[in-house]
Structure 1
């Protein structure tokens, strides 16, 4: 039998319970903040509302964040990263299904609308902080660049079937055109969403598909 020196056996690193609880608590705070800021906005959401929703005390909140602005900026950053991750998942689904361009454009716009409609208020409010917060501005630019690259890859994948020659510039134009339409739908809930989405999709296809 082999002699095994137990002291030499490498153990997998284990997250200390206290550290793990701290990570989970911080996530709960951010999740609650994301939900409440999306519904009520920054001005109408209080720290007390966040702590109640997260099921924590005020003292615990202040262990992780100094004030409401800090958690709001953290929430905006998280929202940007989630948006990029969701977009990547949508594009990958298109590639996995090997969708024809016409079908892919329809799927892309509808899925983006579904993903964004519950957080549109965050999208509108973040514009103010692009100018006032250097940290948030840097995160915004980083995630925006990732989003543009995802769309450029999409157009490159269908390069033989699309009209635009300057894919980089067109990706920027198209993303903003789609987002503006989403904002209009958010701000005017009486509009027939399906009718507007159908027209948006037809317009985009007209600009893109040969």
Structure 2
């Protein structure tokens, strides 16, 4: 299924830390003080917690809020952009946004510590972006495949329109993303087709398109 292919194309960047060693083991040093985490570290910790709980879209929103903080340093801005790009290029399903974030790092923060990793990731993201657009242009796709490609690219409104017009029933992961983004809602006042959603914590919901109930 196309979903499997798109998942395989998602980008995952792993960071490796190097440990230094000495000729003899150092004596343990006791200390009575610990450094308090900075506001940036606390914010990034919140983002990581959201991702671990399966709330990628909410984590992306948190990073977007963080990037609006005028007190951030260039290094922090670059790291926040990189974190958002990784989420968008993976479970966040917004390849267009990921490429934009990576381009901003290259243009605005070329001296940052993650500039090289961002450049490598940008090359891979742009290659996938071109491939998916070629698939769309070919016209040789089913309605569901077209939905999945549009959604992967970050063209969520176009994907939602196609989903509604074609009476498509995407997999739960798409329903979850659309619920977190705000295209699908739950409530007795809503109208239109009903989709079964299971959230990462196991909560089940019956959701419908938000706009149809207005």
* TM-score normalised over the length of structure 1: 0.34
* TM-score normalised over the length of structure 2: 0.33
Higher Cα Rg: structure 1 or 2? 1
Between Structure 1 and Structure 2, the one with more helix by share is 1
* Structure ranking higher on relative contact order (CA contacts 8 Å, 6+ apart): 1
Between Structure 1 and Structure 2, the one with more strand by share is 2
